[in-house]
Structure 1
Amino acid sequence: MVSMEHLAVDPGRARSGVGAALVDAVRDVGRRAGCRRPVASVWEFDDAARPFYQAIGLRPMQVRMDQPLQGAAAGRGPVPHITPAARRGGR
């Protein structure tokens, strides 16, 4: 997969083909690298991005759910990585 994250187009250039050209360039890079599909991460609240990606042929494949933890220190250091072994109670 070739992943598209944090793509943006100047609002003054919206609907001018710039976004589609950017995605086409990412697709070309992915093909040359041997990737089989492009994927994009899109925020649920981004009412402009979701229809754009669907209009150029991408379809939803996964929904991520989240919830802030009460008492968690926001913005303080990296989020720890939890390994599969740790999830099972190991290290």
Structure 2
Amino acid sequence: MDESHIRRAQERDIPELHRLLRQVADVHHNGRPDLFRPNTTKYTDEELAHIVSDDETPVFGVFSDDDDATLLGYAFCVFQRPQHNHVLTDLTTLYIDDICVDEAARGRGVGTAVYRHVLDFAKANGCYNVTLNVWSCNPGAQAFYEAMGLKPYKIGMETIL
């Protein structure tokens, strides 16, 4: 991953975050048009502003060194702490809610770099593990996560009626 760096996303990055969020939405819509709407994005500007400013929902962006504004990839994360749960132990998890590499930057190590950054961040913040979900209609993402060493820990199943 040459000529790029990773930093926390900021409010000024919202247009670039939307650009990549649309790419993720398109992948999901193409894979499961029965579940995902076309031509959409996951968050409003206001929701993104709240997310990037909240330390409980850190967003890491891989930015081009050329201008510190062109987003090559991102990871949206959420701290999860099941406290006072009768079944689960009180371990802190860093959940990756969304991860994306710009279509034009794939194969350049951007995904690996942002994922390793998330792991380092989670370790530095005392997390027990890092988790994420992947849709079965996105085999490329699943292969990437497996290559990063992730293993299934639960499986969602459905019956369409």
Query: Could you tell me the TM-score, scaled by structure 1's length?
Result: 0.68
Q: By how many angstroms is 1:22 displaced?
A: 0.6
Q: What is aligned with 1:10? A: 102
Q: Distance in 2 between matches of 1:29 and 1:35?
A: 9
SS at structure 2 position matched to 1:29:
helix
Q: Choose the corresponding residue for 2:150, options 39, 49, 58.
A: 58
Cα distance per residue 1:7-31 (max 9 Å; x no partner): 1000111121100111111111111
* 2:116 corresponds to which of 21, 24, 28: 24
Inter-partner Cα distance in structure 1 for 2:115 and 2:158: 27
Question: Identity of counterpart residues, as a percentage?
Answer: 30
Map Cα deviations across residues 14-51 of structure 1 (whole Å, 9 max, x no partner): 12110011111111111111112211210111011000
Matching residue of 1:81: none
Runs of 4+ in 1 over 3 A off after TM superposition: 66-69
Residue correspondences, number: 69
**Partner amino acid for 2:128?**
R
Shift of 1:67: 4.8
Cα deviation, residue 65, structure 1:
2.0
Q: Deviations over 1:59-84 (max 9, x none)?
A: 11110123567xxxxxxxxxxxxxxx
Question: What is the CA–CA distance in structure 2 between the aligned matches of 1:67 and 1:22, rounded to whole Å?
Answer: 34
Secondary structure of residue in 1 paired with 2:126: coil
Structure 1 distance, partners of 2:120, 2:160, is: 37
Give runs of aligned pairs for residues 26-45 of structure 1, distance below 5 A.
Answer: 26-45=118-137
TM-score with structure 2 length normalisation? 0.40
Distance in 1 (CA, whole Å) between partners of 2:149 and 2:105 is 21
Distance 1:67 1:25 in 2: 37
Relative to total residues, which structure has the larger strand share, 1 or 2? 2
Who wins on radius of gyration, i.e. which is larger?
1
